[in-house]
Amino acid sequence: MNIGLIGAGAIAHFLLKEVNYNQLENLRIKSVLVRNKEKYRLLESDFGVKVFTDLEAFLDSEIDIVVEAANINAVKTLLPSVMKKKDVVLISVGALADAALLTEIGNLVNEYKYAVHLPSGAIGGLDLLQNAHALGTVTSVSLTTRKPSKSLIEEDIDEARVIFEGKAVDAIKRFPKNMNVSIVLSLAGIGIEKTSVCLVADPHIDKNVHHVVIKGDFGEATLTVTNNPLPENPKTSYLAAMSILGTLKRIDRKLRIGG
């Protein structure tokens, strides 16, 4: 499967190394879309890709699927055009808090028949949540995220402090760079208007911790994930990067586990 990347940041470099440099079986990144070709020209010689600045030329290149590894703005401006020509793997799921964009994506999927894959990112348990909600009987989903205080607030604090408590729809508006996990969790379950979120700034931790509680007719499930940072970039979750790679490896499998 030939892959096109949108973006050339930490996650894109992780994928280029794991897929192209390590010659991952049945996967190959062929094209990369960036805003500044000169800045990223070395990607062509380092990883054997072709760098593009024009979206249409990128989409018409030798690729089967597009991986968005950029940012929310890139999703809003580029995704509708991409979906008319290619399947997409989307990592900046915070963009989907925009109800109008989410509706547009649904319409494009129906019209053009290309798939949009949403990796689980920095959390897990999404297959459990979707299965538990197959009959619409999950009654509550809550997410408590604890992050190093300096990544959330400028003030020096001695004890952990709750800086947000409410629904996912409001969490992503107030903290668009920190609450992507709440959006993918909401989309897998009972929606952004009903999913409860608590965000805690904690001066005593150096990793992000996500604690999910799901309740419904099936029973109750709890999941806690502590994320190590990506070695190349401490601001990026290692698990978020790996979730894209895992999604790509599973797409063409005939034997699929879970889901």
Q: Which residues of 45-66 are buried (b: 16+ CB within 10 A; e: fewer)?
A: eebebebbeeeeebbebebebb
210 is an active site residue = yes
Active-site pick, 13, 133, 210, 211: 210
CA distance 66 to 60: 11
Q: 4 burial class (0-12, 13-18, 19+ CB within 10 angstroms)?
A: buried
Q: Which residues are identified as catalytic?
A: 210
